[in-house]
Chains A and B, each alone.
Chain A
């Protein structure tokens, strides 16, 4: 086991959990706005009202007896996603990529029986995945047809783009690619590959899996240094808009690229994790302090994105 000295981390501007909680989340995220991000249904409605693109809303299941309506809802879909409105950390998300004569299949090809779907939704409604076990509702969403430009980036799952938006400025970004080790999930601690992205260009800067630098995707052998996220400006713009929408100062936005519709906002996070620093190979604190030091009137979304692209660009670290 190797340990860093605290001053080495401080010199490199590494934000830690306690400081994040006290100086950023506690200070910039008013409690009353939390439900805007903690309840994905509200997030979705807000996003639609603000003209931000989100995955299709097929339906909402609020009561146990409505579960039986699900087959009817998805009858003409190729796939769908069921997620808890108040879930966190990607918990409780069921992805069905193939619907074939009333039979459902997960991305890895395993069949999901209607009974299993029923139980999953029932668990969601009972609050199994929500914070503190509060009763919840299940959201049925359209499947994202993800952009083929990402073929090879990811294994058995949609790669998603996480941006940290501080006071409306995109300060750091990463691409999260699922792997066989992460079982198709995009959580870094479960073994997904985290690729740091340059705020200016959307090009990859650095990549890690299990906190160790990697050059190739472990399953697809894709050269991670070759990544260039398309429609980068739209992504930055959409993410920056989320600040006005939910009024949280320190915000994590999760987005995916749809083949037809471009960047879609998946969810927002009022307590984004710190792994983005490891994926970028650098601390986030200096950028946060940079934004904190900015004076003057609030800039427009375009001005903020331009400012961030100018000041938070970095050199590849491969």
Chain B
């Protein structure tokens, strides 16, 4: 006898690979585990304005590049302008025109999806900035404050923390009052950090708030500490990063450059949107051009076909379980799955009634046909044609009566129905009506359970979005194929053999 070890390793691999593929899909592509999950996204519009000077003009706007937000879609509208969006470390949109006259308005719209990745990390230590050169009048005051704070701090981070609280101290010393009279707080904070050789940079951020218009970017300072850039909001006297802050410009570059224009400015309006988490992740996948194995790359028609096909493994799993572990008898191995597929189209109650009606009428017709002494092939063919008549008749009657449910009866696979009727009829002749009810009832029971599993919206969602599940189902079916234990119905059947001898 050959070893079963390779088999179990194979099954375990299928199981692990299937589960891992599903988890990967959830984590890497943000496909939510539960259907109907919603995510918030932000629609931000930047409006660039400047006055044209009847000459060629070029406007260059920095675009957001922030790990905390994924760009779901972006577009720029600017009639008459040429547009170039440059990728790279510093993403910028550059509009250009030969002649710009009067007030110009350029729009850039982006949809941002929060990723929850708020930390800004950097592996290598940034270069120590050049010491800031203070004005002679300010130097004494600045040195005094910096040295005082330096003494009270342990590292870059605590120095920055102390510094911010000193700058925002309401009981300002004269030294500080002097400095603040010529610098703003953020500027002063940055200068004092750089003077002590602390890596720090100014960034521009936009606070996202629903339905805000004409917002400006606010300046923030990032201080490098222990592999991470820590954000300081000096004006607001806050440390750390709120999750609704998008860092628009992080590279010490300008936010907006306009050549050939005057009085330029940019302002932002924004709107919070709620969208399906699934739709969002599908759009993200399409954006990233990932050659990922996703059925969403198929045309819609094929997608809906696959939505049906991918339910069959669930039905098959139910049938295997009910037959191998429970031991329910069905007529025809996978007929219940096919009936269950029809139930999905017709809904359960209509399907059950329709099935029973067709089979009952079919059996009546069949009992007449059996008296005609026909060959088997022509008899079944006759049954198929009669089944079509019955279906047509029921559809017509239900339409006249106004029962729209009756119209779905056409979804039953006719060949399957004809074979069912033929088998049931033989069963009736050979073993009587009781056997027919038992076999038919078993099939319908299994079909109903398969239908309940297959019509569950969560299961429908999972089998289509996490293809790894099918490997897990395959593993389960293979394992059940090796089950040598008692079926549940056998525990009843062999009850007389359970006693002690």
Is A126 touching B376 in the complex (CB atoms < 8 A)? Answer: yes
In the complex, which residues of chain A have a beta carbon less than 8 angstroms from the beta carbon of B431?
Answer: 190
A16 contacts B by Cβ under 8 Å? yes
Inter-chain residue pair count (beta carbon < 8 A): 88
In the complex, which residues of chain B have a beta carbon less than 8 angstroms from the beta carbon of A208?
Answer: 496
A101 contacts B by Cβ under 8 Å? no
In the complex, which residues of chain B have a beta carbon less than 8 angstroms from the beta carbon of A3?
Answer: 488, 491-492, 495
In the complex, which residues of chain A have a beta carbon less than 8 angstroms from the beta carbon of B327?
Answer: 17
Is A27 touching B376 in the complex (CB atoms < 8 A)? Answer: no
- 1/0 per position for A1-42, CB-CB distance to B under 8 A? 111111011101010111100110001000000000000000
Which segment of A43-51, A223-231, A277-285 sits at the interface? Answer: A277-285
A19 to B484, CA, bound (A): 4
Which segment of A115-123, A148-156, A262-270 sits at the interface? Answer: A115-123
In the complex, which residues of chain B have a beta carbon less than 8 angstroms from the beta carbon of A122?
Answer: 373, 375-376
When the two chains form the complex, which single residue of A14, A18, A126, A213 contacts B494, counting CB atoms closer than 8 Å?
A14
Nearest CB on B from A313, distance (A)? 15
A91 to B327, CA, bound (A): 23
B400 contacts A by Cβ under 8 Å? no
- 1/0 per position for A181-207, CB-CB distance to B under 8 A? 000000000100000000000000000
A211 contacts B by Cβ under 8 Å? yes
A211 to B497, CA, bound (A): 10
Is A27 touching B497 in the complex (CB atoms < 8 A)? Answer: no
Answer whether A278 and B484 are a contact pair too, CB < 8 Å, given A5-B491, A16-B490, A119-B373.
Answer: no
When the two chains form the complex, which single residue of A18, A123, A278 contacts B497, counting CB atoms closer than 8 Å?
A278
Is B484 touching A211 in the complex (CB atoms < 8 A)? Answer: no
In the complex, which residues of chain A have a beta carbon less than 8 angstroms from the beta carbon of B376?
Answer: 122-123, 126-128
Is A18 touching B484 in the complex (CB atoms < 8 A)? Answer: yes
In the complex, which residues of chain A have a beta carbon less than 8 angstroms from the beta carbon of B501?
Answer: 12, 282
Which of B327, B375, B483, B491 has the most C-beta atoms of chain A within 10 angstroms of its own C-beta? Answer: B491
Is A211 touching B493 in the complex (CB atoms < 8 A)? Answer: yes
Is A115 touching B491 in the complex (CB atoms < 8 A)? Answer: no
Residue contacts A-B, CB under 8 angstroms, 25 given: A1-B492, A3-B488, A3-B495, A5-B491, A8-B499, A9-B494, A12-B498, A14-B497, A14-B498, A16-B486, A18-B484, A19-B485, A22-B482, A22-B484, A123-B376, A126-B375, A128-B376, A128-B426, A212-B496, A277-B497, A278-B493, A281-B496, A282-B497, A282-B501, A283-B497
The 10 A-B pairs of least Cβ separation, nearest first, read: A126-B376, A4-B498, A19-B484, A8-B498, A3-B491, A119-B373, A4-B495, A16-B486, A4-B491, A6-B486
**Known A16-B490, A16-B494, A122-B376; 19 more pairs at CB < 8 Å:** A2-B492, A2-B495, A4-B495, A9-B486, A9-B491, A9-B497, A9-B498, A10-B486, A12-B501, A14-B498, A16-B485, A122-B375, A123-B376, A126-B376, A128-B426, A212-B496, A213-B496, A278-B493, A281-B497
